[in-house]
Amino acid sequence: MKDITTLGALKASNWTSRSIKEELREHLIEKLQKKEPTFTGIHGYENTVIPELERAILSRHNINLLGLRGQAKTRLARQMVNLLDEWMPIIEGSEINDDPLHPISRYATELIAEKGDDTPIAWVHRSERFAEKLATPDVTVADIVGDVDPIKAANLKLSYADDRVIHYGMIPRANRSIFVINELPDLQARIQVALFNILQEGDIQIRGFKLRLPLDMQFVFTANPEDYTNRGSIVTPLKDRIGSQILTHYPEDVATARAITEQEARLDERQKEKVHVPDLVKDLLEEISFVARESEFIDEKSGISARMSITAFENLMSTAERRMLISREKETSIRFGDLMGIVPAITGKVELVYEGEQEGADFVAKTLIGEATKSLFDDYFPKIEKLTKETDQDPYDEVLSWFFEQSGFVLEDDLSDAEYKAKLDSITPLVALIKKYQPDTDAADMYFMQEFVLWALVEYKKLSKYPLSNGMRFNDLYGSYISGLS
């Protein structure tokens, strides 16, 4: 079809025009019948958001994707272009993608009247049939819909009564395309009103012109819940004109969250090859986000974006890589102490309530790491009881006794891998504990598991830890206190 260059040839090819909503619908039907995935690379929505989005497309609805930040709303909208025809014919030179068989602009109708079947045709790829606008306070009706262009009027020597002086805005220029407005509640109410006629009647009105342009559009809006967005809301008549409102959500389990992080994290190939990442580390990173969404220090209305886990993973890999480069080693494995390197990724992604602000973002970030450690610990080892009877056998007694007999155990950040492993192996009861309760632990993961137990014992207040300028010191909780008094 791309070889067709004139209107006459297009008519002879039996090509038929159809609305963009029909295009989306027909291609979706085809994919569903063939059992092909409609939206790829989006995890956790297979049984929730995607079926609702497919129903909205089948219903030919304009769509509002409502959800907190970092829930793949824009990605869903962008993938809708894959349901369009690969190529679309337009009248060559048309500003608003005129359909050759149903032209709507003055330029296109006059050109066809002049050249007839010799009217030149151009082809637009589906990747170009997508327009996106972030709603910001400076957006005007002229930006979105259009306005009179005095410079055009002067150059063409036309009066302001001539519709050829109109400069089309973003929406008319995206005719026969998918148009996305991100963060719709941030769009001023008077600008939202300008969308009423476009959504309901499919046409636009510019200034005082008696101009009717029956646009062919697929609108997709994205928005945060109104109770979160203090800057504005979606006006009720506009909501009434949007066919389907679809609620998005965060991953419902750690496995789904891990898949998203591993897919989205931008890692250097050298990092992937030289830095070993135990599975427990990946679970722990995702658990931090789950814990954060329940934290009393964080505003639950703001949400915890999936970007937090992604950037935290990137920071974690870079922390280990930096340590490896400084010690001039060829490869390394993630250490628990490396998790301190993800604190900047957490502090920049959470909105704190008053209590959190009082404690400080750095404290909150480290608290989340600790809470995530506690949350996962019971999946691997016996539950640590706060109070036990003297006759009860505590599986951690030997580890705690080892620390009671020591003056302190220090893990420096800049230890070589050999020194790091030797230090942890010196805690013989800790090695025995892991072999008893996690006998299948891979040798490469053993040392992170050992640190994991130490940090969990600290969180459960069985051990104490003190940050040093270049590492961490672990002590017996009571022994160190008693020795300090003597």
State the amino acid at position 199 in one-letter form: L
Strands (E), 145-235: 146-148, 166-168, 177-182, 203-204, 213-214, 217-223
Residue 186: pLDDT band by 50, 70, 90 thresholds? confident
Q: How confident is the model at residue 138 (pLDDT cuts 50, 70, 90)?
A: confident
Q: What percent of the chain is helix, strand and coil (3-state, nearest 5)?
A: 50, 15, 35
Read off the pLDDT band of 212 (50, 70, 90). confident
- pLDDT mean across residues, the chain: 89
148 CB burial (10 A radius; 0-12, 13-18, 19+): middle
d(CA 258, CA 251): 9
pLDDT at 80 over 90: yes
Q: Which of the two residues, 228 and 279, has the higher pLDDT score? A: 279
Average pLDDT over residues 146-152: 73
Helix axes 254-264, 306-326, angle to 10 degrees: 60
Q: Is the pLDDT of residue 157 over 80?
A: no
d(CA 238, CA 229): 17
For 91, half-sphere exposure in the C-beta direction (CA atoms, 13 angstrom radius) is 25
Whether residue 23 is predicted with pLDDT greater than 90 in this model: the reply is: yes
Structure-model confidence comparison of residues 190 and 393, the more confident one:
190
How confident is the model at residue 226, as a pLDDT?
58
Is the pLDDT at 67 greater than 80, yes or no?
yes
Which pLDDT band, with edges at 50, 70 and 90, does 410 fall under?
very high
Q: Are 68 and 225 in contact (CB under 8 A)?
A: yes
CA 357 to each of CA 228, 294, 354: distance values in angstroms, whole numbers, following the listed order: 19, 16, 5
Cβ atoms within 10 Å of 215's Cβ, excluding its own: 21
Closest CA to 45 of 69, 73, 83: 73
Q: Does position 155 have pLDDT exceeding 90, yes or no?
A: no
Our CA angle for 249, 254, 259, nearest 5°, is 85
pLDDT surpasses 50 at 228: no
Res 151: pLDDT: 72
Buried b (16+ CB within 10 A) or exposed e, 245-269: bbebebbeebebbbbbbeebbeeee
Mean pLDDT to the nearest integer, 424-453: 94
User: Given this model, what pLDDT does residue 484 score?
Assistant: 47
Least confident range from 149-158, 194-203, 246-255, 373-382: namely: 149-158
Q: Per-residue pLDDT averaged across 141-167, rounded?
A: 73
pTM of the full predicted structure?
Answer: 0.86
